Structure 1
């Protein structure tokens, strides 16, 4: 006589099958070395982005952008999509302007000029009245 009933054998087969299937489908974790330079670059990028966003979030900057017909949310999304090089260059220009005695209005005007140039190149369509330059 068998020690296990047919129900127990069927349950054992089902559990074995499930364990084998789960074993084949699990994902493996992969580790990689991250250099200190990469971490510092990520932190600098995050800092540059936050610095620019905080400058553009000041009440005077928001008021100036609104007066010029630029939606601050669009500017926020543009800043979020900037690359590290663009952020670094932009923040450097802003710091140079501030060193010369400029205020937040200068930053807003710089953003406005960048948006107009992007509209002229056809990259964005923030100002519908501006027709893109035909590069054909």
Structure 2
């Protein structure tokens, strides 16, 4: 019994100090309501991005990209890197294109977009843009 009493006080102080130390560094959890508008916008952006991916997976689009010398995988990566606003704008432009010309117009838009990003040094798709780019 004396052994128990002799160790009880130091052990209880150690346990209390450990519990106090563990409870001091708990990060505060923050929560907020997500508005309906934010949820709708996020789901629309995902739907538009899926629509762009579906258009890129079409055989005629892939053939045209290859004929222009662009790797479809790089275009897919660029579409994945688009912001939500850019994806929605691109999808809206696809809707406004005339029937029958949508694939060609869309490919020209992607081609110009890739050239611009290549010149700015954000991508490395075309070798002929290396002279004027900001790459180091």
- Give the shorter-chain TM-score range: 0.7 to 0.9
Q: More deviation in 42-51 or 55-64?
A: 55-64
Q: CA deviation at 1:82?
A: 1.4
8 Å contact kept, 1:56–1:107: no
Report what 1:104 is aligned to.
103
* Residue deviations 1:40-63 (CA, integer Å, cap 9, x gap): 111111111111111112232223
Offset at residue 127 of structure 1 (A): 0.6
1:116 corresponds in structure 2 to: 115
CA spacing shift, 1:113–1:21, aligned 2, 3 Å = same
Give secondary structure in 2 for the equivalent of 1:124. coil
Unaligned runs of 5+ in 2: none
Aligned equivalents of 1:6, 1:66: Cα separation in 2: 82
The aligned runs of 1:1-136 (5 Å cut-off) are 4-97=4-97, 99-130=98-129, 131-132=131-132
Gaps of 5+ in 1: none
* Deviation of the 1:123 alpha carbon: 4.0
Q: What is the rounded CA distance, in whole Å, between the counterparts of 1:102 and 1:55 in structure 2?
A: 13
1:85-123: CA deviation from partner (whole Å, max 9, x where unpaired): 2112211111122x4322534433321122123334444
**RMSD, matched Cα:** 2.6
* Post-superposition CA distance 1:12-42 (Å, at most 9, x none): 3332222112111222211112111011111
Give the paired residue count.
Answer: 133
1:56–1:108 Cα contact (<8 Å) kept: no
- TM-score, L = length of structure 2: 0.78
Work out whether residues 94 and 102 of structure 2, in 8 Å CA contact, stay in contact via their aligned partners in 1.
no
